[in-house]
């Protein structure tokens, strides 16, 4: 009996190693205790949300007996939330954004799916720099799109010539993510300006423009004063997707947004398409509680200093143990080179030291591995001996 599609069967078997790592981790924790395992596999922010989130929840509880306290709302989100977010994003993105240019979504993931549903015709291509957040391929596939990862430079910066060479008549979207998961790369204004110029050239004379989609859930987390430039003023066919999963530590609440560049002519039709997709994809808008929390907490964020200290601690551990890596300029990941050409062999050895990481092939780049440092600094320090032994083989 075929209970799922062949494609779903392929997805399930393709991700078998992810399950293996996860199950191995559970086994190790059961055997040795939670504290004996250094688990750097998940990008699940461990910091508590700012205090205002709890206060807001208490206020919502007081209102819970009122009619429509958690009722349906307009598909783009509560008008007050949309308006407040437009004001906030106008400052953050450095360009005047109207409430009508954005919508609230079920996290960045929901936003990306709305966008693909609105603009992709089956067979259309989505270019993204490699390595990349693995879900992008599935999200594009949900709307019949095909993800085309393009190599980056050795320091993980965009290789714009390679991106230009990858463009075909079916290219509909270029998707970038800065600060980047898994590399921690932050693209400079110069690089983004060059990308915008390339896309302007490539879109000229086309009936359908090539969109530039910037996925920015880690915008708040750039280190050493690194600037995260906005794409919205640089290219008219650009959009930004954002999320409160990381900056407010609310990933289970599912609240994010899509904002369309105010430079895009006729954008009302695109926004209408995004809003319609928000309605029909099954999740039906961003959650009421998440939107209320966001309205109260807008402009606040978790304590970034904690991530800064962890980044320094992790860099120290890896350097002393002899690993090769590029210091992340943003987000909460390291993407070091595996000491063995086959990173699965190395990660097996690392797991024997009770240190868990994700193989680079999970991000389209074998020979590397990803460490998520959203764990207590004590865990990072405790992992040093294991890292040192694992590199010696």
With respect to ligand PLP, which residue has the nearer C-beta, 219 or 382?
219
| Residue 171 found at the interface with ligand PLP (CB under 6 A) | no
Binding mask 122-141 for ligand PLP (x = CB under 6 A): -----------x--------
d(CA 253, CA 291): 9
With respect to ligand PLP, which residue has the nearer C-beta, 50 or 256?
256
The token duo for 116 is 């693909």
| Residue 179 found at the interface with ligand PLP (CB under 6 A) | no
With respect to ligand PLP, which residue has the nearer C-beta, 11 or 208?
11
With respect to ligand PLP, which residue has the nearer C-beta, 164 or 301?
301
Binding range to ligand PLP, per CB under 6 A, among 72-80, 103-111, 220-228, 267-275: 103-111
Identify residues 105-124 at the interface with ligand PLP (CB under 6 A).
107-109
Beta pairing, strands 358-359 & 355-356: unpaired
d(CA 97, CA 262): 6
| Residue 243 found at the interface with ligand PLP (CB under 6 A) | yes
d(CA 310, CA 330): 12
d(CA 231, CA 212): 8
Residues 6 or more apart whose Cβ sits within 8 Å of residue 59: none
The token duo for 33 is 């205790």
| Residue 43 found at the interface with ligand PLP (CB under 6 A) | yes
The token duo for 26 is 């559970």
Find out whether 337 and 343 touch, Cβ atoms under 8 Å: no
With respect to ligand PLP, which residue has the nearer C-beta, 203 or 245?
245
| Residue 245 found at the interface with ligand PLP (CB under 6 A) | yes
| Residue 145 found at the interface with ligand PLP (CB under 6 A) | no
Binding test (CB under 6 A) with ligand PLP, winner from 181, 191, 261, 338: 181
Binding test (CB under 6 A) with ligand PLP, winner from 39, 92, 215, 384: 215
Helices 343-352 and 384-392: angle between axes, nearest 10 degrees: 130
d(CA 297, CA 293): 6
| Residue 293 found at the interface with ligand PLP (CB under 6 A) | no
Residues 6 or more apart whose Cβ sits within 8 Å of residue 90: 96, 97
Task: Tell me the residue number closest to ligand PLP, measured at CB.
Answer: 107
Residues near ligand PLP (CB under 6 A):
43, 107-109, 133, 177, 181, 215, 217, 243, 245, 251, 256
């Amino acid at each position: 009996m075929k209970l799922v599609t062949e494609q779903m069967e392929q997805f399930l078997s393709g991700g078998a190693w992810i399950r293996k790592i996860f199950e191995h981790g559970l086994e190790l924790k059961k055997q040795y205790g939670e504290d004996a395992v250094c688990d750097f596999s998940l990008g699940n922010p461990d910091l508590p949300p700012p205090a205002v989130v709890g206060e807001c929840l208490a206020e919502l509880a007081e209102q819970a007996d009122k009619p429509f306290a958690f009722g349906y709302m307009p598909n783009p989100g509560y008008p007050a939330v949309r308006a407040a977010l437009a004001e906030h994003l106008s400052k953050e993105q450095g360009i005047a954004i109207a409430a009508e240019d954005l919508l609230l979504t079920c996290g960045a993931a929901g936003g990306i799916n709305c966008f693909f549903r609105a603009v992709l015709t089956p067979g259309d291509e989505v270019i993204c720099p490699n390595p990349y957040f693995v879900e992008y391929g599935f999200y594009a596939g949900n709307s019949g799109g095909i993800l085309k990862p393009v190599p980056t430079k050795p320091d993980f910066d965009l290789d714009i010539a390679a991106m230009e060479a990858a463009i075909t008549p079916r290219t509909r979207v270029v998707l970038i993510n800065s600060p980047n998961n898994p590399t921690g790369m932050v693209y400079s204004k110069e690089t983004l300006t060059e990308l915008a110029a390339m896309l302007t050239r490539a879109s000229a004379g086309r009936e359908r423009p090539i969109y530039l989609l910037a996925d920015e859930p880690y915008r708040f987390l750039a280190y050493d004063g690194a600037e995260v430039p906005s794409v919205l003023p640089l290219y008219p066919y650009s959009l930004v997707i954002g999320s409160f999963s990381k900056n407010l530590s609310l990933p289970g609440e599912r609240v994010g947004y899509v904002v369309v560049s105010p430079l895009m002519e006729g954008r009302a039709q695109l926004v209408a398409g995004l809003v319609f997709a928000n309605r029909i994809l099954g999740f039906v808008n961003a959650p009421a509680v998440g939107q209320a929390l966001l309205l109260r907490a807008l402009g606040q964020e978790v304590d970034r200093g904690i991530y800064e200290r962890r980044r320094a601690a992790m860099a120290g551990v890896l350097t002393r143990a002899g690993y090769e890596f590029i210091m992340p300029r943003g987000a909460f990941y390291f993407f070091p080179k595996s000491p063995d050409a086959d990173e699965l062999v190395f990660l097996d050895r690392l797991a024997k030291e009770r240190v868990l990481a994700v193989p680079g092939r999970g991000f389209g780049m074998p020979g590397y591995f990803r460490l998520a440092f959203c764990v207590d600094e004590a865990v990072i320090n405790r992992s040093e001996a294991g890292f040192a032994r694992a590199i010696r083989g």
